[in-house]
Amino acid sequence: MKLVLLGAPGAGKGTQSAILAEKLGAPMISTGNILRAAVRNKTPVGLRAKEYMDKGELVPDEVIIGIMRERMAEPDCAGGYILDGMPRTIAQAEALEAGGVEVETALSIEISDEEIVSRMTGRRTCPECGATYHTVYEPPRKEGVCDKCGHKLAIRRDDEPETVLNRLKVYHAETEPLKDFYKKRGKLKTVGNRNGIAETTRIIFEALGI
Ligand code: AP5
C-alpha cells in the first residue's frame, strides 16, 4: 500500500503512521523525523533545514524531494510505504507523480486548531528514535523515558505555542490544498479526529478497510 497521511501539525499523523506501519508491515517515512535526525547530526541538509523548522516554516521543496527520492529508493520500500508529512505542498505531490509514485490513498485526519494547541503542550518525543508520547493520552511507562529505546524524552523546539500558531497558518495556506488535489484524483479519504488514540485508529482502519 502507498498511503499518504495528511493533517494539521499535531493531528496525529506520526502516532497513526507508526500503528499503521506495524499493522501493514510497511515502513513509515516521516520527513519530520528524517529532518530532525539531520539537524541532530548537523549534516548540510540539517543545518539548512533547522532555520525553517525552528520558525515553523516549510523546508524548501527541492530539499524535501531529494530526501524522499533517496529514502524511497531503499529496498524496504519496494512493497509500499506510509508517508507521514510528505507531500506537504502541491509541488511535492507533483514531484511524486512525476517520479512515477502512484499514491493509492491520501488519508486526512481532521482536527480543530483549538484542539491542536492543547495537544502540542502535552507532546513528548524521543530525540533518539522519534517515538511520540503524550503526558495524558499516551504516557510512557516510566515518566520522561522512551519505552522503545530508553532515551530521555524531550519537548520539540517547534512545539512552543507561537511556533505552533505559525505552523497552523502554514498548514492552511500550503498543505490543506492537497486535499483538493487528491480529491480530484478520487484518492482522498477523511476521518474526523477522535479523542483517544485507539478510537482514532479504529476509524482509520475502518476507512481503509483493513
Ligand atoms: P513534522 O514532524 O512532520 O510535524 P507536523 O506535520 O507539524 O506534525 P507533527 O509531528 O507536529 O504532528 P503529528 O500530526 O505527527 O501528531 P502526533 O502523532 O505527534 O514536521 C516538522 C517540521 O519539519 C515542519 O514544520 C517543517 O519545517 C519540516 N517538514 C517536515 N516535512 C516537510 C515537508 N514535506 N516539506 C517541507 N517541510 C517539512 O500527535 C500529536 C500529540 O497528540 C502527541 O503527543 C500524541 O500522543 C497526541 N495524540 C495523537 N492522537 C491523539 C488522539 N486521537 N487523542 C489524543 N491525543 C492524541
> What is the pLDDT averaged over residues 8-32?
95
Give which of 58, 73, 38 is closest to 178, Cα–Cα: 58
| pTM assigned to the model | 0.93
Is 202 an annotated catalytic residue? no
34-46 per-position pLDDT tens digit: 999 999 999 999 9
Q: Judge whether residue 168 has pLDDT over 80.
A: yes
> Ligand 1: which residue has its CA nearest to atom 5?
9
Instruction: Give the whole-angstrom CA distance, residue 58 versus residue 171.
Output: 9
69 a catalytic residue: no
Cβ–Cβ under 8 Å, residues 156 and 68:
no
Radius of gyration (C-alpha) of the chain in whole angstroms: 16
Tell the residue nearest (CA) to atom 15 of ligand 1.
Answer: 14
Q: To the nearest whole number, what is the mean pLDDT of the chain? A: 94
Q: What is the pLDDT of residue 154?
A: 95
- Which residue's C-alpha comes closest to atom 50 of ligand 1? 12
Contact 12 CB / ligand 1 (< 6 Å) = yes
100-126 pLDDT per residue, tens: 999 999 999 999 998 898 888 889 999
Pocket test for ligand 1, best of 119, 191, 201 (most atoms within 8 A of CB): 119
Instruction: State the residue for C-alpha cell 474526523.
Output: 192
* Residue tagged active-site, from 13, 36, 50, 119: 13
